[in-house]
Amino acid sequence: MGEVLPASAPVPVSRDDELGTLTWNDEEGAWVGEYAGIAFGISPIRTADKSKPSSELLAYAKRVLGNAEWRSQCLDLAKLAAIAEYGASYEPEIRALKYEFIDFYNRETGPAIIADVGEGSGRWWRIEFEGERCEGLGFDT
């Protein structure tokens, strides 16, 4: 007879009326879901109860994900600032950036975002927010 493998533990799932199903993802270290075509994660960093998404971060995610106009405006303004900072040679790459994955987490000062917005020439671009204040675009190489 073959070896019986132990059953793996079920993947934790949380449901929200507005955001839908959120599933725990070990690789992201967050509760992940999709809203209006945008993938997102809700991190348990600085959260008391790590067994479910934080109600504070859920409320923050709903405000941010539910306001596509605000998100687009913030990214557009950050793109203009980044073009001025990094120079015209970066402009085509910067103009092509779009939200790909929004990671909601808690800083010591409150809710925040690091969002992946695309790849460039050996660069991975991100936009960061503290609450509703955009801190700008940057990249990792």
**Per residue in 104-135, pLDDT tens?**
999 999 999 999 999 988 899 999 999 999 99
**Per residue in 32-71, pLDDT tens?**
999 999 999 999 988 888 889 999 999 999 999 999 999 9
How far apart are alpha carbons 103 and 114 in whole angstroms? 5
Confidence band (pLDDT; 50, 70, 90) for 4? low
- In the predicted model, is pLDDT for residue 1 greater than 60? no
How far apart are alpha carbons 53 and 22 in whole angstroms? 8
Alpha-carbon torsion (134, 43, 64, 38), positive or negative: positive
Which helix (H) or strand (E) segment is 114 a member of? strand 110-119
Residue 141 confidence (pLDDT)? 83
pTM for the predicted model, two decimal places: 0.89
* Both structure tokens of 18: 């507005």
How far apart are alpha carbons 15 and 46 in whole angstroms? 21
